[in-house]
């Protein structure tokens, strides 16, 4: 079998790099992290002519090899490190037909590393509309490389690109620009000191500020025949290099690239004026948010009911079909209940990601970043902080990692510390189930109360992030200055394929990422809830029967009787009514035994131990257990409750119904009422409750000081707010 070709896909942000990646790899792709760091690593396999295969690596977007942020340095490190298993045999530089000049800067830098390089000119379908013409043949000659004119929208040019990759050995390796002319003496000495090395590679190693071992620079400083320059001198040389490259690029484009200046510019300018307007811009953004939250509720109701019903039937099927015993109980009450508790939220999470993907694909997200910069500045944040804050609506972990694009350390640190306040998708299942239980039906101006509550929670999370940023901005004594530059990509119709990939990938990672943890926790919890050491647990049947004989049924059972009577109506004859009542009493007895056993199980004792802490918030020991376990991941909350309420329960009921039927034995009112529900919502809106985020914050800040402070502050704040809300509303 022939060796796979290693291909690095690299390019400026917003050039359609991901679309090219998707077209090359189809569904043969996976997303992970670079070893040792948490920058997202996207890779896939592409089938080439003659049965050859290529391993495609989608590198983080970068404007040049003079990196300014940590994730950009990933690209440089890979291109320089020949020992890296992913070091490319061929590099593909993806450029955008409308910004070719700027994109060619990166191309010439990569070409100068003597890596075979292919230039992809993407978005070719826009050429006619924009009045652009390119002499491809001449451009290939001038750049001494091969070019693929691609339109991912029209799916053209990809076959040529595949052929070029397969023939990569025939690509010229010559350099485009001789950078030694910017400081001949300096580069001469560099050459003398390291005669075996390529000068441009050495230059890049010297000038990279980030992610390289200090040993490298020490080695260069200590070499007696060579002394490097000061930081400011190196910066000046970098600027000279950029100017030299642009001179080269301008010269080439003058002969090969023509643009009709009168071609359509008006539409984009008009749209920008409206969407980034001081008043209308924010109004439109607000309306878009409203539509998203309304749609999350309206559209996902039907599939959610289907999933809920499916899991209830599956539980019943398992109990009826498999031989009775503890393992069957584990499958029905532990595994299925736990998985069902998370799978049910797939439709809503998929819709959320669908809207985020659409906003990004159309180019609107960059306008939001620009709009928000005005608001963010006074709070010690920048427009760039909006990207992590918006990404935080998916998950705080990549959002914290996304702060690497913020050059200013103070702004970056503040963004890292406040990002976990934004409502991540893990909070969504908790919000959705509690809102469904405690917020009444009804609407205001056509928007349901439930959708409005959900939107308020999102805004509250965002507000808490801003408020904390203000406080941190005042407290942190770090002096720094920063500038805000954002690229406004062209508006475009979203590519269905790209949107579909994003939704699929994000939903998959949500379900499988959290799913394994939830499944494991559900199994352990089921075990702890189904076993106990005390006499009460072992003699539960006798004790409960005796108690009912003396004191009658519990408040929970009384409510159960009332509900059942309402359902059955009064149309039964006397004989049928007696049989029915007997049946109901038997069911109530078995439920009371299950509940008593649960209370005296291992889990029951654990829950009772933490109950004094959570009782002032309106929670019982079962919710306490769910809050505790959801520290692993917030969405575990629903899975835990689903497991707790399933243990020993023979009824075919949905999680929501089980939770709605739960009565607080102290107040004799439903456990999930408006006061306890709002208290729970607020607790989850502000609490840290995510071990993985803490670990990422530690990694990004390189200290336990920040995540520890974050955990204490967010937990205390959440507890106090939830306490106040419950005490006012109860």
What is the binding site for other proteins (CB under 8 A)?
36, 77, 80-84, 87, 194, 197, 201-202, 205, 211-216, 323, 325-328, 330, 516-517, 519-521, 523-524, 527, 632, 691
Nearer to other proteins, 34 or 299 (CB): 34
Nearer to other proteins, 335 or 470 (CB): 335
Nearer to other proteins, 325 or 442 (CB): 325
| Count of beta carbons in the 10 Å neighbourhood of residue 475 | 8
Q: Kindly list the distances between the CA atom of residue 662 and the CA atoms of 642, 670, 672, in Å, as whole numbers in the listed order.
A: 12, 6, 7
Angle at 621 between CA 693 and CA 649, to 5 degrees: 105
Q: How far is the CB of 325 from other proteins (least distance, A)?
A: 4
Q: How far is the CB of 697 from other proteins (least distance, A)?
A: 16
Q: How far is the CB of 480 from other proteins (least distance, A)?
A: 27
Q: How far is the CB of 185 from other proteins (least distance, A)?
A: 20
The rounded distance, in Å, linking the Cα atoms of 677 and 656 is: 13
Using DSSP, state whether 38 is helix, strand or coil: coil
Q: What is the 3-state secondary structure (H, E, C) of 40-67?
A: EEEEEEEECHHHCEEEEEECCCCCCCCC
Nearer to other proteins, 8 or 359 (CB): 8
Nearer to other proteins, 50 or 82 (CB): 82
Residue among 618, 287, 622, 296 at smallest CA distance from 428: 296
Q: How far is the CB of 414 from other proteins (least distance, A)?
A: 28
Q: How far is the CB of 344 from other proteins (least distance, A)?
A: 21
Nearer to other proteins, 36 or 569 (CB): 36
Q: How far is the CB of 518 from other proteins (least distance, A)?
A: 11
Q: How far is the CB of 365 from other proteins (least distance, A)?
A: 33
Nearer to other proteins, 201 or 497 (CB): 201
Q: How far is the CB of 505 from other proteins (least distance, A)?
A: 22
The rounded distance, in Å, linking the Cα atoms of 469 and 465 is: 6
Q: How far is the CB of 37 from other proteins (least distance, A)?
A: 12
Q: Per-residue DSSP letters for 310-367? A: HHHHHHHHHHHHSPSSHHHHIIIIIIHHHHHHHHTTHHHHHHHHHHHHHHHHHTHHHH
| Count of beta carbons in the 10 Å neighbourhood of residue 540 | 23
Q: How far is the CB of 530 from other proteins (least distance, A)?
A: 9
Nearer to other proteins, 648 or 670 (CB): 648
Q: Are 373 and 486 in contact (CB under 8 A)?
A: yes
The rounded distance, in Å, linking the Cα atoms of 367 and 281 is: 9
Q: Are strands 132-134 and 40-47 parallel, antiparallel or unpaired?
A: unpaired
The helix (H) or strand (E) run that includes residue 443 is: strand 443-444
Using DSSP, state whether 9 is helix, strand or coil: strand
Return the bridge partners of 56, or none.
7, 44
The rounded distance, in Å, linking the Cα atoms of 330 and 682 is: 33
Q: How far is the CB of 392 from other proteins (least distance, A)?
A: 22
Nearer to other proteins, 171 or 190 (CB): 190
Q: How far is the CB of 604 from other proteins (least distance, A)?
A: 17
The rounded distance, in Å, linking the Cα atoms of 9 and 106 is: 12
| Count of beta carbons in the 10 Å neighbourhood of residue 298 | 13
Q: How far is the CB of 516 from other proteins (least distance, A)?
A: 7
Q: How far is the CB of 326 from other proteins (least distance, A)?
A: 5
The helix (H) or strand (E) run that includes residue 390 is: helix 386-391
Nearer to other proteins, 202 or 359 (CB): 202
Nearer to other proteins, 72 or 411 (CB): 72
Q: What is the 3-state secondary structure (H, E, C) of 650-713?
A: CCCCCHHHHHHHCECCCCCCECCCHHHHHHHHHHHHHCCCCHHHHHHHHHHHCCCHHHHHHHHH
Q: What is the DSSP letter of 183?
A: S
Q: How far is the CB of 12 from other proteins (least distance, A)?
A: 23
The helix (H) or strand (E) run that includes residue 117 is: strand 117-122
Nearer to other proteins, 76 or 127 (CB): 76
Nearer to other proteins, 319 or 547 (CB): 319
Provide the CA 196 distance to its chain's centre, in angstroms.
Answer: 45
Using DSSP, state whether 112 is helix, strand or coil: coil
Measured on CA atoms in the order 423, 427, 428, 434, is the torsion positive or negative?
Answer: negative
The rounded distance, in Å, linking the Cα atoms of 267 and 129 is: 12
Q: How far is the CB of 527 from other proteins (least distance, A)?
A: 5
Q: What is the DSSP letter of 227?
A: -
Both structure tokens of 440: 């009444």
The rounded distance, in Å, linking the Cα atoms of 120 and 113 is: 18
Nearer to other proteins, 352 or 632 (CB): 632
Nearer to other proteins, 215 or 261 (CB): 215
Nearer to other proteins, 83 or 262 (CB): 83
Q: What is the DSSP letter of 156?
A: B
Nearer to other proteins, 204 or 365 (CB): 204
Residues with Cβ within 8 Å of 189's Cβ and at least 6 positions away in sequence, in order, are 225, 226
The rounded distance, in Å, linking the Cα atoms of 14 and 61 is: 8
Q: How far is the CB of 323 from other proteins (least distance, A)?
A: 6
Q: Per-residue DSSP letters for 237-293? A: HHHHHHHHHHHHHHHHHHHHEEE-TTSS-HHHHHHHHHHT-TTHHHHHHHHHHHHHH
Nearer to other proteins, 199 or 271 (CB): 199
């Amino acid at each position: 079998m022939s060796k796979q070709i290693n291909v690095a896909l690299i390019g400026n942000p917003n050039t359609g790099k991901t679309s090219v990646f998707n077209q090359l790899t189809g569904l043969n792709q996976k997303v992970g992290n670079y070893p040792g760091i948490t920058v997202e690593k996207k890779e896939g396999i592409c089938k080439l002519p003659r049965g050859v295969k290529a391993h495609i690596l989608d590198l983080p977007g970068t404007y040049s090899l003079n990196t300014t942020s940590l994730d950009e340095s990933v690209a440089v490190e890979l291109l320089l490190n020949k020992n890296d298993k992913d070091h490319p045999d061929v590099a593909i530089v993806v450029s955008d037909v409308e910004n070719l000049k700027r994109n060619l800067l990166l191309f010439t830098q990569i070409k100068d590393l003597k890596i075979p390089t292919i230039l992809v000119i993407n978005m070719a379908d826009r050429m006619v509309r924009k009045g652009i013409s390119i002499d491809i043949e001449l451009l290939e000659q001038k750049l001494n490389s091969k070019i693929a004119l691609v339109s991912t929208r029209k799916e053209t040019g990809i076959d040529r690109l595949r052929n070029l990759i397969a023939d990569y050995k025939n690509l010229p390796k010559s350099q485009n620009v001789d950078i030694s002319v910017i400081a001949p003496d300096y580069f001469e000495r560099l050459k003398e000191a390291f005669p075996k090395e390529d000068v441009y590679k050495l230059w890049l190693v010297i000038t990279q500020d980030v992610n390289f071992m200090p040993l490298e620079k020490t080695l260069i400083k200590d070499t007696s025949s060579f002394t490097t320059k000061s930081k400011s001198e190196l910066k000046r040389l970098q600027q000279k290099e950029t100017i030299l490259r642009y001179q080269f690029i301008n010269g080439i484009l003058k002969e090969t690239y023509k643009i009709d200046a009168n071609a359509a510019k008006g539409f984009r300018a008009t749209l920008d004026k409206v969407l980034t307007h001081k008043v209308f811009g924010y109004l439109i953004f607000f309306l878009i948010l409203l539509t998203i939250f309304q749609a999350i509720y309206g559209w996902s109701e039907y599939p959610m009911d289907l999933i809920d019903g499916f899991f209830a039937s599956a539980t019943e099927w398992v109990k009826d079909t498999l031989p009775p015993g503890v393992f069957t109980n584990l499958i029905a009450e532990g595994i299925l209940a736990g998985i069902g508790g998370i799978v049910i939220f797939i439709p809503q999470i998929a819709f959320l990601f669908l809207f985020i993907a659409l906003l990004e694909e159309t180019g609107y997200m960059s306008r939001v970043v620009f709009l928000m910069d005005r608001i963010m500045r006074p709070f010690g944040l920048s427009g760039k902080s909006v990207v992590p804050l918006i990404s935080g609506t998916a998950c705080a972990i990549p959002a914290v990692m996304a702060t690497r694009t913020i050059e200013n350390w103070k702004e970056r640190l503040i963004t890292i510390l406040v990002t976990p306040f934004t409502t991540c998708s893990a909070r969504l299942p908790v919000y959705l189930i509690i809102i469904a239980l405690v917020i009444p039906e009804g609407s205001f101006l056509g928007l349901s109360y439930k959708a409005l509550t959900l939107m308020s929670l999102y805004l509250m999370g965002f507000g808490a992030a801003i408020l904390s940023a203000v406080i941190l901005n005042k407290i942190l004594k770090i002096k720094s200055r920063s500038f805000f530059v954002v690229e406004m990509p062209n508006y475009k119709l979203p590519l269905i394929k790209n949107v579909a990939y994003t939704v699929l990938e994000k939903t998959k990672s949500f379900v499988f990422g959290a799913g394994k943890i939830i499944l494991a926790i559900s199994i352990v919890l089921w075990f702890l809830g189904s076993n106990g050491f005390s006499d009460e647990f072992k003699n539960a049947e006798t004790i409960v029967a005796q108690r009912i004989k003396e004191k009658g049924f519990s408040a929970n059972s009384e409510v159960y009787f009332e509900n059942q009577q309402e359902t059955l109506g009064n149309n039964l004859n006397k004989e049928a009514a007696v049989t029915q009542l007997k049946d109901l009493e038997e069911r109530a007895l078995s439920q009371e035994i299950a509940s008593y056993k649960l209370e005296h199980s291992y889990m029951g004792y654990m829950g009772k131990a933490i109950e004094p802490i959570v009782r002032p918030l309106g929670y019982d020991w079962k919710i306490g257990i769910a809050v505790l376990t959801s520290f692993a991941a917030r969405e575990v909350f629903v899975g835990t409750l689903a497991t707790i309420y399933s243990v020993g329960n023979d009824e075919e009921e949905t999680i929501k119904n089980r939770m709605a039927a739960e009565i607080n034995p102290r107040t004799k009112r439903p456990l999930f009422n408006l006061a306890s529900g709002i208290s729970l919502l607020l607790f989850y809106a502000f609490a840290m409750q995510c071990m993985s985020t803490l670990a990422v914050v530690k990694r990004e800040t390189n200290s336990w000081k920040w995540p520890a402070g974050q955990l204490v502050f967010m937990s205390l704040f959440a507890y106090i707010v939830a306490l106040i809300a419950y005490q006012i509303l109860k």
